[in-house]
A and B are shown apart, each in its own frame.
Chain A
Amino acid sequence: MRKNREIKVIFVILTVFFFAFLCVPMLLPTITYGFAIIYSFGKQGLLTRLFGRQLFDIYGFNGLLLGYVIYTLPISFMLINNTMGYIDKKFTVVSRLMGDTPVRTFWMTVLQPLLGTLAASFIQTFFLCFTDFGIPASVGGSYEVIASVLYTEMLGSVPNFGNGAVVALVMLVPSVVSITVLTILERYNVRYSKIFQIELKKNRARDTVFSGMSALILIAVFSVFLVMFLVPFVDEWPYRMSFTMEHVRAVFADSTLFGVYINSVIVALVTALAGTLVSYGAALVTARSSVNGKLKRVIESIALITNTIPGMVIGLAYLFCFSGTGLQNTFAILIICNMVHFFSTPYLMMKSSLSKMNGSWETTAMLMGDNWVKTIIRVVPPNAVSSLLEVFSYYFVNAMVTVRRGRTRRQKRPGRRESEGN
């Protein structure tokens, strides 16, 4: 018995680690991934040195692929993990009892309920890569992607907003396809009357194999970021490898850091609160209300399109819209901008969990004399706590990273002169 408990503890710890390590990369601006790749796999990279030779050519397609995968892994994981929690495992048991083959059980009780989320996750990651220019800027090499074309037009040495707008419009085209796909997949959604938390069948071999695979993925991701834990303590990578605390000291000695940090926290908190409310509200309307289907599709389209537009374009659009008004240069505009930009993933997360819950709650409540509003306040949130928390933290983390990006993009390494010069 005791041994079993120990094993359980180990698995819990492993899960926490898995979550933490997998999601850590999400906290970094994407340009850091590029530099992590260069410092790991480049000519003088850490892994290049460990292996004694350069493993592959990091510029162009390879580097982009590696960077994009690391970048989108956490988001895809969060989406799928979230929906997993709302799948009734009892169905698996029933399916097995009815004599289904394992493959069929897997398809019917795991894959099918996940289908919508899997597609959503595919589409999310597609657009994250499609609109990112941090990774192409550092390891894209001569492999041109549309996001860097947009970047050059909008924020090049001579900004050309007209041309940039055309590029941005072209980038919207794939979102039409994605909206159609998600609408079609909606039909496959499986609703549960009640989600049972049941003990899963014990299977040491299965757990070991999958833990091993997770560990491998973790090590792979972590090995790329290993160098990032070393660089702050190295005098000058890669040519002066002595240990130093100078960089760390210099960063903390910056007196403006504290104020900036507080500002970021405030903006991120408000963004997270407002963002969670809005995405919860939007998901309620599309997943649990009987409003007109057209209206639902409008909400759906907005949610997906916000993800299609690179943040830079939203930022510039707001800049133009509100120039000269009271909103210009306020926290409010920053918060709105963040809410809009990061709306997509939280919305999809909320929606997939809400649409897995019993569809008759509202009817029952109504029969008992509650109105719709009362129901969604009393009945739904307690069942969606974990998603609400995840949505909140997603917004918070992303808002923090964004604000910080805005501020520290130009922060140089301490003790050395450097100019962005762009």
Chain B
Amino acid sequence: MAAVGIGAGIAGGSGSGEEQVVIYSNADDEAVQAMKNALDENGYAGEYIFQTFGTSELGGKLLAEGKNIEADLLTMSTFYIDSAQEQNEMFRDLEFEVNTLDEFPSYCAPITAQEGTILVNTEMLKENGLPMPESLKDLADSVYSGYLSVTDLSSSSTAWLLVQGLISEYGEDGAKEVLTGIYENAGDHIEDSGSAPLKKVRAGEAAVGFGLRQQAVADKADGLPVDYVDPQEGNFSLTESVAVVDKGADSNAKAMEMARCIIENGREELQTYYPLALYEGETTDAANISANPKVFEEPLTVDLLEEHQELSEACK
């Protein structure tokens, strides 16, 4: 793990050539490929370098390096972009029209949205005679003790989708009570990675988990004994956005063009993986329309995440 932070930053950068636009991203491979396709098909092939990072790695870089960051353009969790902008004023306003369904700041435009949901392994439920959970609160029921896998909010923002649901439904005190029960049930399966609960459910290590909805939809469609239940408390979501780094006189003019290209030409393919509609004129297909989409009442920021982390830590 030595040079992960920097290792990831370099190993792919062999393509020489001048003035290539450097794009940093925390997106999954599928999303990165979709963005690359959009760029390549619109005449930018060979004019950019894509580097991918884990969310926290890139988040750390954003907050630590500010405008010194190597990237000209990046895609990242929106709440991180907001906080980095607030701390370092490092992004330029976008110079093109974006017609988003929800309101976004002038310096970023969303590329994907991901919802959280309850995941189950149907075989495991049957084998162990467990009831199908209906709400997040159900996960605190002691019948699921030893069968539940969730992500730790201190390690991964995927867990935020769970915590937001609990707080908005039950208030902070109520959320604490439920979360304490959930952590008790999860025991050994309080995971560091956002995708670990699905992996544990898929591997038959856990019967119930909390994770990203579109992944469970895909697994189910793939014929695995994986199913999902939209919790009564609601499906909360996190978006990832594209933003252009303000490098003053050194700014690469193509970065803004590429940001525009990704939004205007990449969304169609992106939506095949992250089905939620984000722009006017887009629709979400039936399987991917969650039962109860909700938005947290306060704006999502790194500060709010820290507050919620404290709450979560108190429940362990």
Interface residues of A, Cβ cutoff 8 Å to B? 29-30, 38-39, 42-44, 59-60, 133-134, 137, 141-142, 148, 151-152, 154-159, 161, 236-240, 256, 259-260, 262-264, 267, 310-312, 314-316, 318-320, 323-324, 328-331, 333-334, 337-338, 341-342, 402-403, 405-407, 409-412, 416-422
Contact = CB atoms under 8 A, between A and B. Distances in A.
Nearest to B1: A311
Contacts of B306: 158
Given A319-B61, A420-B194, A329 B13 contact: yes
25 contacts: A39-B203, A42-B204, A44-B203, A59-B189, A141-B188, A142-B187, A157-B154, A157-B156, A158-B302, A158-B309, A312-B2, A312-B5, A319-B6, A328-B70, A334-B7, A337-B3, A402-B2, A405-B7, A407-B11, A410-B53, A417-B215, A419-B215, A420-B55, A422-B54, A422-B55
A260 B63 contact: no
Contact of B6 (A38, A142, A315, A411): A315
B237 interface: no
A410 B29 CA distance: 8
Nearest to B116: A421
B14 A263 contact: yes
Contacts of A320: 64
A148 B193 CA distance: 12
A197 B69 CA distance: 57
B86 to A, nearest CB: 14
A359 to B, nearest CB: 35
A403 B11 contact: yes
Given A157-B56, A417-B218, A421-B212, A134 B1 contact: yes
B53 to A, nearest CB: 8
A411 B52 CA distance: 10
Interface of B: 1-15, 28-30, 52-57, 59-61, 63-65, 68, 70, 114, 123, 151-160, 187-190, 192-195, 198, 202-205, 211-212, 214-215, 218-219, 222-225, 273, 302, 305-306, 309
A157 B5 contact: no
Contact of B11 (A157, A267, A316): A267
Contacts of A152: 152, 154-155, 192
Contacts of B53: 410
Interface centre among A156, A157, A312, A342 (most CB of B within 10 A): A157
Given A158-B309, A422-B157, A238 B203 contact: yes
Nearest to B70: A329
* Most chain A beta carbons < 10 A, residue from B189, B222, B306: B222
Contact of A312 (B4, B29, B160, B212): B4
Contact of B10 (A157, A311, A331): A331
A416 B273 CA distance: 10
A170 B123 CA distance: 45
Contact of B305 (A42, A137, A157, A238): A157
B10 A422 contact: no
Contacts of B273: 417
A60 B188 contact: yes
B59 A405 contact: no
A417 B155 contact: no
Contacts of A410: 28-29, 52-54
B115 to A, nearest CB: 12
Given A323-B65, A416-B218, A407 B12 contact: yes
B316 to A, nearest CB: 9
Contacts of A137: 192-193
A323 B205 contact: no
A329 to B, nearest CB: 5
B28 A419 contact: yes
Which 3 pairs of residues, A with B, have the shortest CB-CB distance? A421-B194, A406-B7, A141-B188
A358 B205 CA distance: 57
B192 A151 contact: yes
Given A334-B6, A407-B12, A142 B190 contact: yes
Nearest to B152: A152
A406 B54 CA distance: 10
A422 B309 CA distance: 14
Contacts of A420: 28, 54-55, 193-195
Given A152-B154, A159-B59, 6 more contacts: A159-B56, A259-B14, A316-B60, A318-B6, A337-B6, A421-B157
A412 B64 contact: no
Contacts of B189: 59, 141
A198 B152 CA distance: 59
A409 to B, nearest CB: 7
A83 B251 CA distance: 56
B14 A262 contact: yes
A141 B187 contact: yes
B57 A155 contact: yes
A253 to B, nearest CB: 12
Contacts of B30: 412, 417
Output the residue of A262, A314, A328, A418 with the most chain B CB within 10 A.
A418
A262 B14 CA distance: 9
A52 to B, nearest CB: 15
Nearest to A263: B11
Contact of B63 (A159, A341, A407): A159
Contacts of B64: 161, 319-320, 323
B6 A416 contact: no
A264 B11 contact: yes
A422 B11 contact: no
Contacts of A141: 187-189
Contact of B68 (A43, A60, A312, A324): A324
Nearest to A30: B1
Contact of B12 (A237, A259, A418): A259
A240 B223 contact: yes
A166 to B, nearest CB: 16
Given A316-B60, A330-B10, A406-B11, A157 B28 contact: no
